[in-house]
Amino acid sequence: MTADVTRCPHCDAEVHDGDRYCEACGYDLVTGTEAEAQAPAGAPEARWLSSGRTEEVCAGCGGSSFGDEGYCDGCGRRRATGHDHSELDLDVIAAASDIGHRHRHNEDAVGIGLLPGGGGRPGIVAGVVCDGVSSSDRADAASYAAVDAAVPALLDALREEPGDPGRALELAAGAAQAAAALAAGTDPGTNPPSSTFVAAVVTAEAVTVGWVGDSRAYWLPDPLPADAPTAAARPAGEGTVGLTPVCLTADDSVAGRAAAAGGPPVGAAHPAGPAGALVRWLGADATDTAPHLSTVRPTGPGRVLVCSDGLFRYRPEPAELAAATPAGTPMEVARVLVELALAAGGEDNVSVAVLPFPPPVA
Partner 1 sequence: MTQPAAFTAEVFQNQYLPAGGQIVDAVVTVTASGSGLSAGGEAPSAAEVIMVDCSGSMADPATKMSEAKKACAVAIDTLRDGVAFAVVAGRHDARMVYPPSATLAVANPLTRGAAKDAVTRLTASGGTAIGQWLSLANTLFAGHPAEVKHAIMLTDGRNQHETPDQLAATLRNCEGRFTCDSRGVGADWVATELRQVASTLLGTADGLEDPAELPAAFQAMTQQAMGKAVAEAALRVWTPAGSSIRFVKQVFPQVEDLTGRRVDVSPRIGEYPTGSWGAESRDYHVSVEVPAGGVGEELLAARVSLVANGQPLAQSLVLATWTDDTALSTKINQRVAHYTGQAELASVIQEGLAARDAGDVPTATAKLGRAVQLAEESGHSDTAKLLAKVVDVIDAPSGTVRLKPKVAGVDAELANVRSVKTIRVKKTEEGS
Q: Which residues bind partner 1 (CB under 8 A)?
A: 61, 67, 69, 71-78, 103-104, 137-138, 186-187, 189-190
**CA-CA distance, 358 to 281, in Å (whole number)?**
30
Q: How far is the CB of 282 from partner 1 (least distance, A)?
A: 20
d(CA 98, CA 352): 9
Q: In angstroms, what is the minimal distance from the CB of 285 to partner 1?
A: 13
**Minimum Å distance from CB 187 to partner 1?**
5
* Minimal distance, residue 189 CB to partner 1, in Å: 6
Sign, Cα dihedral of 90, 95, 101, 106: negative
Q: Does residue 307 contact residue 277 with C-beta atoms inside 8 Å?
A: no
> Which one, 100 or 152, has the nearer CB to partner 1?
100
Residue 19 or 73: the one with the smaller Cβ distance to partner 1 is 73
Give 82 or 116: the residue with its C-beta nearer to partner 1: 82
CB of 111 to partner 1, least distance (A): 25
- Of 331, 337, 293, the residue nearest 315 (C-alpha): 337
Residue 103 or residue 280: which is nearer to partner 1 going by CB?
A: 103
Which residues are CB-neighbours of 194 under 8 A, at least 6 positions away? 132, 133, 136, 139, 142, 180, 281, 282, 283, 285, 286
Query: What SS3 state is found at 99?
Result: coil
* CB of 105 or CB of 234, closer to partner 1: 105
- H or E stretch including 86? strand 85-89
Q: Are 93 and 119 in contact (CB under 8 A)?
A: no
